[in-house]
Chains A and B, each alone.
Chain A
Amino acid sequence: GNSVTQMEGPVTLSEEAFLTINCTYTATGYPSLFWYVQYPGEGLQLLLKATKADDKGSNKGFEATYRKETTSFHLEKGSVQVSDSAVYFCALSDRSGNTPLVFGKGTRLSVIA
């Protein structure tokens, strides 16, 4: 079945450091890939997405590139801020139309000033 594996946290970085959160997936066909972010006390919200190989999703300084050859969708940001502290979830959709997103376990990021 479809699955998503992301690096375990927590990840603690100093402000302005470079961030990478690894995500790999297993799926049949050509899934769509997503990164969601959950700020403290809130629900998940979409951060970025990519729907086909080599697509790059980007938002708020975060980027992720859909790599079919390595089945990966790693999240990166060049310079993190304290306000980026949150839990990040990688997810996939198999595009079958009636199946829900498959989420990874989440990675908690803490950015310290």
Chain B
Amino acid sequence: DAGVIQSPRHEVTEMGQEVTLRCKPISGHNSLFWYRQTMMRGLELLIYFNNNVPIDDSGMPEDRFSAKMPNASFSTLKIQPSEPRDSAVYFCASSLDGGNTEAFFGQGTRLTVV
């Protein structure tokens, strides 16, 4: 398996624009996680899905953030409208059986909002 695949790797956008980050989890994994990493806050869990259903989105910072998982092989994280403070590296991770087992991380998307 190719691992967790995220796209794009880098995104530069202007403030106010919509940004969509994409993730393809490892085939067969039933849990998917979106994290945000910044120097100031470290690694933050934004939302996680189990069997395509959002379980906990309490980490989503504002209503400008939304995430979907329409099927077991694809998820998106959308920011609309984007702001400079959203600049960060966004990671997607997947695992089998929730948090009991190893989570596999993607390479991340580095988002810069100018």
Contact = CB atoms under 8 A, between A and B. Distances in A.
A97 interface: yes
A103 B50 CA distance: 19
B18 interface: no
Contacts of A98: 31, 50, 55, 98-99
B99 A44 contact: no
Interface in A95-113: 95-101, 103, 105-106
A105 to B, nearest CB: 5
Q: DSSP class of B's interface residues: helix, strand, loop or mixed?
A: strand
B102 A100 contact: no
Given A94-B99, A98-B55, A103 B43 contact: yes
A65 interface: no
A44 B100 contact: no
Interface residues of A, number: 22
Contacts of B99: 93-101
B61 interface: no
Given A43-B108, A106-B42, A32 B100 contact: yes
B18 to A, nearest CB: 24
Interface in A55-113: 89, 93-101, 103, 105-106
A99 B105 contact: no
Contacts of B108: 42-43
Contacts of A89: 43
Interface in B65-109: 91, 93, 97-108
A34 interface: yes
Contacts of B103: 44, 46, 100-101
A61 B100 CA distance: 25
Interface of B: 4, 31, 33, 42-43, 45, 48, 50, 55-56, 91, 93, 97-108
Interface of A: 32, 34, 41-46, 49, 89, 93-101, 103, 105-106
27 contacts: A32-B100, A34-B102, A42-B108, A43-B91, A43-B105, A43-B106, A44-B91, A44-B93, A44-B103, A44-B105, A45-B104, A46-B104, A49-B102, A89-B43, A93-B99, A95-B99, A95-B100, A97-B97, A98-B55, A98-B99, A100-B33, A100-B45, A100-B98, A101-B99, A105-B42, A106-B42, A106-B43
